[in-house]
Amino acid sequence: GDSVTQMEGPVTLSEEAFLTINCTYTATGYPSLFWYVQYPGEGLQLLLKATKADDKGSNKGFEATYRKETTSFHLEKGSVQVSDSAVYFCALRVQGGSEKLVFGKGTKLTVNP
């Protein structure tokens, strides 16, 4: 079945540090890939997405590249801020079936000043 494996957390960084959160997937079809973010006390928001191989999604300084050969979609940011503290979820959706998302377990990021 479809699944997403995400780097275990929690991750604690200092402000301006480099962030990588690893995400790999298995899918029966050709998935679209997403990163969602959940800030404390809030619902999920889409951070970025990529729909085909070699696409790079980017938003708010975050980037992730759809790597079909390694079935990966790692999230990166060159310089994190305290305001980036949140839980990050990698997710996939396989086209042609239902529109449901399959999520990774989430990675909690804390950025200290």
Partner 1 sequence: SAVISQKPSRDICQRGTSLTIQCQVDSQVTMMFWYRQQPGQSLTLIATANQGSEATYESGFVIDKFPISRPNLTFSTLTVSNMSPEDSSIYLCSVGGGRGRNTEAFFGQGTRLTVV
- Determine, following the binding rule CB under 8 A, whether residue 52 of this chain makes contact with partner 1: yes
- Determine, following the binding rule CB under 8 A, whether residue 69 of this chain makes contact with partner 1: no
- Amino acid found at 83: S
Say if CB 35 and CB 89 are below 8 A apart.
yes
Could you give the 3-state DSSP secondary structure of residue 67? strand
Least distance in angstroms from the C-beta of 95 to partner 1: 6
- Determine, following the binding rule CB under 8 A, whether residue 40 of this chain makes contact with partner 1: no
Among 40, 70, 98, 113, binds partner 1 (CB under 8 A): 98
Half-sphere exposure of 32 (CA within 13 A, CB side): 16
The token pair that represents 65 in the structure block: 């590249």
Footprint of partner 1 (CB under 8 A)? 32, 34, 36, 42-46, 49, 51-52, 89, 93, 95, 98-101, 103-106
